[in-house]
């Protein structure tokens, strides 16, 4: 008879003590995230050196491992889950999503095939349908859950590439791209860098891209579109990463479809504005596209990582993500998750996505979008009132602000990050250095905005005084 080894890692009693302790430490972290400095202290970052040691010759008690992780790891995190992190477009994590993430972690499901995890397969199907419903996308589209918008762009563009070439009688899955009919890719000058990466991974090449002029908000100029054809993929944006601006989708889709071109939408965060009756008009026309990429870990505040690729032509996505024969991996009769994504084995990220959508529902998601946009307007109003220059039309949750010349603006950004009340990053917008404020967390309150405004304006005053 097999006996349980005396290894603490596999001892059941210890594992429930361990899990309870992990939950205590996690709750303590969550509760303190809003009060601590947003960026980690230099001493905390320096202490990470203590992780460096040769591969251990002996094991370590799991509780000690956890304690060590908390002692060194927790202080060296950036408090993105508190209410005053405004960097990049990083969402926080909704309590429901975090809790679902813990349960899913305990389940440890492989979401590749339905037979490996019926629950993961079912929730994925439901979550993708709900995303289509929430965003007003065609209900019979196919979709897949991937790590983020970069991979969602990759996945959708792979489907576009296969479908356009199939129309030309070329099977890219079987024959690759060598000697294939050429595909033209068109995007605005303000295309997100990650989309260029996706194109290069797909063999479509960053340099082959035909870049179209944009206006002062970064919107692609529909009147400047080049000649399109049935071999063109046009990439448009719902939500510019700096300004939050939306490309004129209706005009572009109409022009593209007249020529038989494929339109892909990078809507990493902006697509979610469509759940709000107040902001839905910004998404007019985006539903006419052929594929969409978005992130659930940004505006919807689903735990990292969770990107969503949606393709109108379900068969196009399935054809290029299908696995060639492997006797032990036969698909069942129903939708198989791995037939819609580049990966086979992967975590069951649908669990958190489903939980977030279920708990918020349409009104909760709309409120999250509207509240974060209102916070962005509050920032912009406070900055303007203090004499700062807001560089963008604040259409959704993004604010760009300049504090004078490039070096002053950079100094303010550095000083704000070091001071720790809040965290904002920098950018260069159409030649001007700017601070980016992206309000993407459910946890941000009016008080967080006011405290952050005070900290930013204090830093700006000090830098201004020092420069005189
Ligand atoms: C418009 C846009 N596309 C793509 C991405 C890449 O997203 P991810 O980092 O989730 O892959 C971002 C990230 O901010 C973005 O804003």
Q: Convert the pLDDT of each residue in 440-455 to its tens digit.
A: 999 999 999 999 999 9
User: 307 CA to middle of ligand 1, Å?
Assistant: 9
Write out pLDDT tens, residues 166-213: 999 999 999 999 999 999 999 999 999 999 999 999 999 888 899 999
The whole-angstrom separation of Cα 464 and Cα 468 is 7
pLDDT of residue 326: 74
Give the number of the atom of ligand 1 that is nearest the alpha carbon of residue 305.
Answer: 10
Q: How many CA atoms lie within 13 A of 85 on its CB side?
A: 27
Which of 91, 149, 189 to probe ligand 1 with, by most ligand atoms within 8 A of CB?
Answer: 149
pLDDT for residue 2 is more than 60 = no
Q: Structure pTM?
A: 0.96
CA distances to 78, 138, 150, 298, 439 from 29, rounded to whole Å, are 12, 40, 29, 21, 21
Look over the chain and give the mean of its residue pLDDT values, rounded to a whole number. 96
pLDDT of residue 6: 55
pLDDT of residue 328: 78
Q: Which three-class secondary structure state does DSSP give residue 437?
A: strand
Closest CA to 132 of 400, 303, 314: 314
Q: Given the structure tokens 């460096």, which residue do they identify?
A: 52
Q: What percent of the chain has pLDDT over 70?
A: 97
The whole-angstrom separation of Cα 397 and Cα 380 is 10
Mean pLDDT of 63-73: 97
- Prior bond of 305 cis (ω within 30°): yes
The whole-angstrom separation of Cα 301 and Cα 292 is 19
For ligand 1, whether the C-beta of 192 sits within 6 Å is yes
Name every residue whose Cβ is closer than 8 Å to that of residue 225 and which is 6 or more positions away in sequence: 186, 212, 234, 252, 255, 256
pLDDT of residue 9: 53
Closest CA to 293 of 192, 174, 375, 368: 192
pLDDT of residue 420: 97
Residue 468 CB-density burial (10 A; 0-12 exposed, 13-18 middle, 19+ buried): exposed
Closest CA to 89 of 299, 307, 308, 378: 299
Sheet holding 432-438, edge to edge: 389-390, 398-402, 432-438, 425-429
For ligand 1, whether the C-beta of 148 sits within 6 Å is yes
The whole-angstrom separation of Cα 275 and Cα 135 is 6
User: 192 CA to middle of ligand 1, Å?
Assistant: 7
Number of other CB atoms surrounding residue 300 within 10 Å:
29
For ligand 1, whether the C-beta of 232 sits within 6 Å is no
pLDDT of residue 67: 98
Is 292 within 8 Å of 264 (Cβ atoms)? yes
Is 293 within 8 Å of 406 (Cβ atoms)? no
pLDDT for residue 149 is more than 90 = yes
Res. 12 pLDDT band, cuts 50 70 90: low
For ligand 1, whether the C-beta of 155 sits within 6 Å is no
The whole-angstrom separation of Cα 42 and Cα 34 is 19
Is 117 within 8 Å of 73 (Cβ atoms)? no
Q: Is the dihedral of CA 271, 277, 283, 286 positive or negative?
A: positive
For ligand 1, whether the C-beta of 268 sits within 6 Å is yes
pLDDT for residue 321 is more than 90 = yes
- Torsion (CA) 442, 446, 452, 458 in degrees, nearest 10: 170
Beta strands in 364-438 (DSSP E): 389-390, 398-402, 425-429, 432-438
For ligand 1, whether the C-beta of 194 sits within 6 Å is yes
Which of 90, 91, 145, 148 to probe ligand 1 with, by most ligand atoms within 8 A of CB?
Answer: 148
Res. 387 pLDDT band, cuts 50 70 90: very high
Which region among 23-37, 80-94, 324-338, 377-391 has the lowest average model confidence (pLDDT)?
324-338
For ligand 1, whether the C-beta of 307 sits within 6 Å is yes
User: 458 CA to middle of ligand 1, Å?
Assistant: 31
Which of 194, 273, 293 to probe ligand 1 with, by most ligand atoms within 8 A of CB?
Answer: 194
Write out pLDDT tens, residues 326-355: 777 778 889 999 999 999 999 999 999 999
Res. 272 pLDDT band, cuts 50 70 90: very high
pLDDT for residue 300 is more than 90 = yes
pLDDT for residue 1 is more than 60 = no
Report DSSP letters for 223-265, one per residue: GG-----TTEEEEEEBS-TTT--B--HHHHHHHHHHTT-EEEE
The whole-angstrom separation of Cα 351 and Cα 126 is 10
Write out pLDDT tens, residues 133-145: 999 999 999 999 9
For ligand 1, whether the C-beta of 368 sits within 6 Å is no
């Amino acid at each position: 008879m097999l006996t349980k080894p005396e290894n603490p890692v596999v001892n059941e009693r210890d594992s429930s003590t361990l899990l309870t302790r992990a939950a205590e430490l996690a709750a303590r972290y969550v509760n303190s995230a809003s009060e601590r400095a947003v960026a980690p202290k230099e001493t905390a970052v320096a202490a990470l050196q203590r992780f460096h040691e040769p591969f251990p010759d002996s094991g370590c008690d799991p509780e000690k491992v956890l304690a060590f992780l908390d002692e060194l790891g927790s202080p060296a995190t950036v408090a993105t889950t508190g209410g005053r992190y405004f960097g990049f477009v990083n969402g926080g994590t909704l309590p429901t999503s975090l809790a679902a993430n813990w349960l899913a972690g305990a389940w440890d499901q492989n979401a590749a095939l339905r037979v490996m995890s019926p629950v993961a397969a079912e929730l994925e199907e439901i979550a993708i349908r709900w995303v289509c419903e929430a965003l007003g996308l065609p209900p019979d589209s196919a979709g897949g859950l991937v790590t983020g918008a970069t991979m969602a762009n990759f996945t959708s563009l792979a489907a576009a590439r296969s479908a356009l070439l199939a129309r030309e009688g070329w099977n890219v899955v079987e024959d690759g791209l060598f000697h294939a009919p050429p595909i033209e890719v068109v995007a605005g000058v303000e295309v997100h860098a990650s989309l260029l990466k996706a194109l290069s991974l797909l063999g479509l090449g960053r340099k082959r891209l035909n870049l179209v002029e944009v206006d002062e908000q970064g919107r692609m100029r529909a009147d400047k579109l080049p000649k399109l054809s049935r071999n063109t993929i046009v990439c448009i944006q719902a939500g510019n990463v700096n300004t939050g601006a939306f490309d004129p989708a209706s005009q572009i889709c109409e022009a593209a479809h007249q020529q038989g071109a494929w339109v892909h939408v990078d809507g990493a965060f902006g697509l979610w504005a469509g759940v709000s009756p107040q902001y839905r008009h910004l998404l007019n026309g985006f539903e006419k596209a052929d594929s969409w990429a978005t992130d659930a870990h940004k505006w919807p505040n689903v735990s990292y990582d969770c990107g969503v690729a949606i393709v109108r032509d379900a068969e196009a996505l399935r054809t290029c993500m299908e696995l060639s024969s492997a006797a032990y991996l036969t698909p069942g009769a129903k939708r198989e998750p791995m037939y819609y994504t580049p990966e086979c084995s992967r975590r069951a990220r649908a669990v958190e996505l489903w939980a977030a959508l279920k708990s918020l529902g349409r009104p909760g998601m709309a409120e999250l979008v509207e509240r974060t946009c209102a916070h962005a307007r509050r920032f912009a109003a406070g900055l303007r009132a203090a004499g700062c220059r807001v560089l963008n039309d604040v259409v959704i949750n993004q604010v760009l602000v300049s504090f004078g010349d490039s070096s002053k603006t950079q100094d303010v950004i550095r000083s704000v990050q070091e001071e720790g009340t809040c965290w904002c990053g920098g950018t260069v917008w159409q030649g001007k250095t700017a601070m980016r404020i992206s309000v993407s967390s459910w946890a941000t309150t009016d008080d967080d905005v006011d405290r952050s405004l005070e900290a930013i304006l204090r830093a700006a005053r000090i830098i201004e005084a020092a420069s005189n």
